[in-house]
């Protein structure tokens, strides 16, 4: 699922947890765990709900997740 989320954010741009869950047909708790791993590895970042006024993304009040690129740890690397 890590690769699916990464590919989705690269292709679609910033998305909310609910949008990702819906697109991947996965539960929000499962997506939330994968998002936490991707954030820890520097692959994505969470955009605060305050970062968007709703004019550009229609997601005011909802945290969005944005792809950060390949400069982060490989997805297969353990964090231990």
Q: Domain boundaries in the chain?
A: 2-67
- Residue 9 is classified by DSSP as H
Q: Which CATH number fits domain 2-67: 3.40.50.1820, 3.10.20.90, 1.10.10.10, 3.30.420.480?
A: 1.10.10.10
**In tens digits, what is the pLDDT along the chain, a chain of 80 residues?**
999 999 999 999 999 999 999 999 999 999 999 999 999 999 999 998 665 555 555 555 689 999 997 655 555 555 54
| Cα–Cα dist 28/10, whole Å | 19
What is the pLDDT at residue 20?
A: 97
> How far from the centroid of its chain's Cα atoms is residue 50's Cα?
17
What is the pLDDT at residue 69?
A: 76
């Amino acid at each position: 699922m890590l690769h699916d989320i990464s590919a989705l954010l690269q292709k679609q741009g910033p998305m909310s947890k609910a949008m990702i869950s819906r697109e991947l047909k996965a539960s929000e708790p499962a997506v939330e765990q994968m998002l936490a791993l991707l954030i820890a590895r520097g692959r994505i970042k969470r955009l605060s709900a305050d970062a968007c006024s709703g004019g550009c993304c229609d997601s005011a009040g909802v945290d969005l997740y944005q792809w950060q690129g390949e400069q982060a740890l490989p997805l297969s690397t353990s964090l231990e």
